[in-house]
Copies of this chain bind each other. A is one copy, B any other.
Amino acid sequence: MYSFKNDYSEGAHPQILNALVETNLVQEEGYGEDQYSLQAAELIKKKMNDHNAAIHFLTGGTQTNMTAIAAFLRPHEAAVAAATGHINVHETGAIEATGHKVLAVPSGKDGKLTPAGIQSMLDAHPDEHMVKPKLVYISDTTENGAVYTKSELKAISAFCKRKNLYLYLDGARLGSALTSKANDLELSDLPKLVDAFYVGGTKNGALLGEALVICNNALKDDFRYLMKQKGAMLAKGRLTGIQFLELFRDNLFFDLAAHANTMAMKISGAIQAAGYTFLTPPVSNQIFPILPNDLLEELHQQFNFFDWEKVDENHSAARLVTSWSTKEEAVDAFIASLKEKVTR
């Protein structure tokens, strides 16, 4: 049964595996000081046109978020996130385990934060009897598949600068965001707008790996100490370096994400053509169609995917996720199955 459950069901893009095989016996320095990691960092800086950034490779999203936030904040400072934000719900309290409260702003269905939402947290935390909001956490794409427009991100960025807040962007699915039809941001915009962000590899063709980019000089000192302390420094750091080298050597990172988006758009187009709507507009590799329960039940017999939430007595939203590895035949089969069931 083909799975649209997530974007980490398979291994890595073959070109990445191939690079691992080809470099395998070269002796290199450990702990991220190998030539591959150094080259990959240079490459990413060049691609985003910021030679001042500090780049570190970590193994996963939760680890990257907790290591960065622990490095950036003093003990009484808190992170502001959408209530649906990954750090607020799906990281088993990793941020709190490093001592910091996450302040959850009630968010719309799209999972985006706004200056108004952040301001509400500043208003609610005026003095030393409460934590001090200091870092704003956003995800692009959001946990609900939405993408930030350039003007939205600029507005948040300007607000954060004005309020002396750090802006941190979780880019677990940054590839899908930057290649979305709804996007008008470029990778090179990010260093100007955020204090730090990460480029997600795990969900875009790597075996594992996230590239943390620290743009704000004030946040760079001693970051490798934090990585080591949080268990984020691989002895064979080459493993992440080599993968990011392949992703950014040419255009692989963007090509893979574009494929995932194309597959998602093909499915969402068919769903729309069949007369159904979505929880949030389908623009990235995660789509949330609202379908009749009996149709969902039938589709579940042929495909793996998650039911997301009940919408009304007879309808639920599903979550379908595509990836760099999604086969177009599987997409076509899903569409055919949908059409067949709908027209029956």
Contact = CB atoms under 8 A, between A and B. Distances in A.
Contacts of A233: 60, 62
A39 to B, nearest CB: 16
A202 B131 CA distance: 23
A24 to B, nearest CB: 4
A101 B6 CA distance: 27
A23 B9 CA distance: 11
A222 B25 contact: no
Contacts of A75: 70-71, 97-98, 226, 229
Contacts of A74: 71, 222
A208 B31 CA distance: 12
A25 B6 contact: no
Contacts of A207: 20, 236, 239
Contacts of A298: none
B11 A132 contact: no
Contact of A25 (B29, B97, B230, B325): B325
Nearest to A25: B10
**A interface secondary structure, majority:** loop
Given A9-B27, A59-B59, A97-B75, A92 B228 contact: yes
B96 A239 contact: no
A225 interface: yes
Contacts of A99: 93, 96-99
Interface in A98-147: 98-102, 104, 124, 128-132
Interface in A196-214: 202-203, 207-208
A231 B231 contact: yes
B222 A128 contact: yes
A156 interface: no
A92 B71 contact: no
A115 B66 CA distance: 32
A93 B89 contact: no
Contacts of A59: 59, 231, 234
Interface string A68-103: 001100111010000000000111111011111110
B3 A27 contact: yes
Nearest to A325: B25
A131 B92 contact: yes
Interface string A36-79: 00000000000000000000000111111011001100111010
26 contacts: A2-B27, A6-B30, A8-B236, A9-B30, A10-B24, A11-B20, A12-B24, A20-B20, A67-B231, A70-B75, A74-B222, A76-B226, A92-B225, A93-B100, A93-B229, A94-B229, A94-B230, A96-B101, A97-B99, A97-B230, A99-B99, A202-B235, A202-B236, A203-B235, A208-B236, A230-B230
Ordered nearest first, which 10 A-B pairs have the shortest CB separation?
A63-B231, A76-B225, A11-B24, A8-B235, A92-B229, A93-B101, A92-B228, A93-B131, A9-B27, A128-B224
